[in-house]
């Protein structure tokens, strides 16, 4: 009997240890990153002259630019999955619709090579992964694959480039660039890998193009790769207020981004900090902004936001173009925001969602 009891206690102790270890193992989030919108802007580099070309998805307004990719409601990538964005069509008499090294556009000048100074180019990439379009790269004067490293000499100059080092490394994705060129006499490998074999490929061959008569590409390529990350926890709006710019007690700035979109307005971190510091004083817009900022920062830091996504969308829709005080003078009644504020507060405080972080 004693032997049986000892064995039972041993089994129980082992089981408890295993359960405890299970709680220590991070739980992977199902949806790692969702690419909702993207905009790529090629401008003259500092000290150079030339035109500006803008490329974006069909759901983004890029005045004077080209809408290249249909991302639908967003492309979701789990860890290790890839999204490739490149040309999707041919602009008659001009070239592929994502010929970034030539700054291809639909208005004159329709092409403008990214070459050595004073004709070199700078690149800016804006990405929306759930918090509105945010600049994730640039503007950077350093030549990258999209601009043929500012070495386009025209003619039959081969522009193929494999993916380089990551230009952006976020908690849940990386972003790299390359160049696909089968239009200028390239033999052998002429497109970066992965390409059409990516998990999601937003591109299409065209013809004819340059010296190419079939399956032609002359285009920049963007590769976004999902990263498997643990399902994060959440902090309160008070935590983010005290761990941003000008934090009391010299607390470290722990914000994962330096811009956020509230409604349709893009705010800098300094402006967001001023909003968090602002007293509510009966203005529902301020109280909603406090919790919305915290929720978006939590998600940007790796917390799984699937349980609060619809609430964030509703909050942004309600705010619209209103500018939150003290940056602006927008206002909402407390009653109109109370349901949204309560839901966001519950998420930030760990009542719902992945749970609250130990502060």
Share of the chain above pLDDT 70, in %: 89
Say if residue 6's pLDDT is above 50. no
For residue range 301-325, what is the model confidence (pLDDT) as tens digits?
889 899 999 999 999 999 999 999 9
Say if residue 254's pLDDT is above 90. no
pLDDT at 155: 80
3-state secondary structure the chain: CHHHHHHHHHHHHHHHHHHHHHHHCCCECCCCEEECEEEEEEEECCCCCCCCEEEEECCCCCCCCEEEECCCCCEEECCCCEEEECCCCEECCCEECCCHHHCCCCCCCCCCCCCCCCCCEEEEEEEECCCCCEEEEEEECCCCHHHHHHCCCCCCCCCCECCCCCCEECCCEEEEEEEEECCCCCCCCCCCCCCCCCCEEECCCECCECCECCCECEEEEEEEEECCCECECECCHHHHHHCCCCCHHHCCCCCCCCEEEECCEEEEHHHHHHHHHCCCCCCHHHHHHHHHHHHHHHHHCCECCCCCHHHHHHHHHHHCCCCCCCCCCCCCCHHHHHHHHHHHHHHHCCCCCCCECCC
In this structure, are 193 and 259 located in the same domain? no
Domain residues for the domain of 278 are: 237-348
In this structure, are 171 and 206 located in the same domain? yes
Number of domains into which the chain is organized: 2
Tell whether 153 is covered by a domain.
Answer: yes
CA distance 288 to 268: 18
- Domain final residue, candidates 175, 192, 226: 226
Model confidence at 298, pLDDT cuts 50, 70, 90, reads very high
- Domain final residue, candidates 204, 226, 248: 226
Mean pLDDT of 152-172: 89
pLDDT at 28: 39
In this structure, are 197 and 78 located in the same domain? yes
Tell whether 232 is covered by a domain.
Answer: no
In this structure, are 70 and 173 located in the same domain? yes
Tell whether 22 is covered by a domain.
Answer: no
For residue range 45-80, what is the model confidence (pLDDT) as tens digits?
999 999 999 999 999 999 999 999 999 999 999 989
Model confidence at 231, pLDDT cuts 50, 70, 90, reads low
Say if residue 10's pLDDT is above 70. no
pLDDT at 30: 41
Tell whether 13 is covered by a domain.
Answer: no
In this structure, are 203 and 222 located in the same domain? yes
Mean pLDDT of 130-136: 86
Tell whether 6 is covered by a domain.
Answer: no
**Mean pLDDT across the chain, nearest whole number?**
88
For residue range 173-195, what is the model confidence (pLDDT) as tens digits?
899 999 999 999 999 999 999 99
pLDDT at 250: 61
In this structure, are 64 and 123 located in the same domain? yes
In this structure, are 247 and 222 located in the same domain? no
- Domain final residue, candidates 226, 260, 276: 226
CA distance 162 to 157: 16
In this structure, are 343 and 258 located in the same domain? yes
Model confidence at 230, pLDDT cuts 50, 70, 90, reads low
Nearest CA among 59, 137, 133, 65 for reference residue 97: 65
In this structure, are 54 and 191 located in the same domain? yes
Residue 327, φ and ψ in degrees, nearest 5: -65, -40
pLDDT at 285: 98
Is the pTM value of this prediction over 0.85?
Answer: no
In this structure, are 170 and 151 located in the same domain? yes
Share of the chain above pLDDT 90, in %: 74
Comparing 192 with 245, which gets the higher pLDDT? 192
């Amino acid at each position: 009997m004693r032997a049986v009891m000892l064995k039972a206690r041993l089994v129980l102790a082992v089981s408890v240890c295993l359960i405890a270890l299970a709680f220590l193992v991070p739980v992977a989030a199902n949806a790692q990153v969702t690419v909702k919108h993207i905009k790529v802007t090629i401008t003259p580099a500092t000290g150079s002259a030339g035109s500006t070309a803008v490329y974006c998805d069909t759901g983004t307004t890029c005045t004077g630019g080209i809408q290249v990719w249909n991302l639908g409601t967003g492309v979701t990538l789990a860890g290790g999955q890839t999204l490739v964005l490149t040309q999707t069509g041919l602009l008659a008499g001009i070239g592929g619709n994502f010929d970034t090294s030539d700054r291809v556009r639909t208005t004159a000048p329709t092409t403008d090579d990214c070459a050595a100074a004073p004709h070199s180019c700078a690149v800016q990439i804006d990405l929306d992964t759930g918090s509105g379009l945010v600049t994730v790269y640039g503007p950077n004067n350093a030549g990258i694959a999209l601009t043929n490293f500012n070495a386009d000499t025209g003619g039959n100059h081969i522009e193929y480039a494999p993916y380089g080092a990551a230009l952006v490394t976020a908690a849940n994705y990386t972003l790299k660039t390359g160049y696909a060129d089968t239009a200028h006499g390239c033999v052998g490998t002429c497109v970066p890998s992965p390409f059409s074999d990516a998990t999601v490929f937003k591109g299409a061959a065209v013809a004819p193009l340059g010296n190419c008569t079939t399956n032609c590409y002359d285009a920049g390529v963007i590769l976004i790769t999902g990263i498997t990350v643990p399902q994060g926890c959440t902090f309160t709006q008070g935590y983010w207020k005290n761990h941003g710019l000008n934090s009391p007690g010299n607390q470290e700035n722990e914000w994962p981004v330096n811009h956020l979109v509230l409604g349709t307005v893009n705010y800098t971190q300094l402006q967001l900090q001023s909003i968090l510091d602002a007293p509510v004083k009966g203005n529902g817009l301020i109280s909603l902004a406090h919790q919305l900022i915290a929720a978006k920062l939590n998600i940007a830091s790796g917390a799984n936001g699937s349980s609060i996504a619809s609430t964030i969308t509703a909050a942004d829709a309600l705010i619209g173009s209103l500018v939150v005080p003290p940056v602006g003078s927008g206002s909402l009644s407390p009653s109109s925001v109370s349901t949204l504020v309560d839901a966001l507060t519950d998420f930030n405080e760990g009542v719902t969602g992945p749970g609250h972080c130990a502060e």
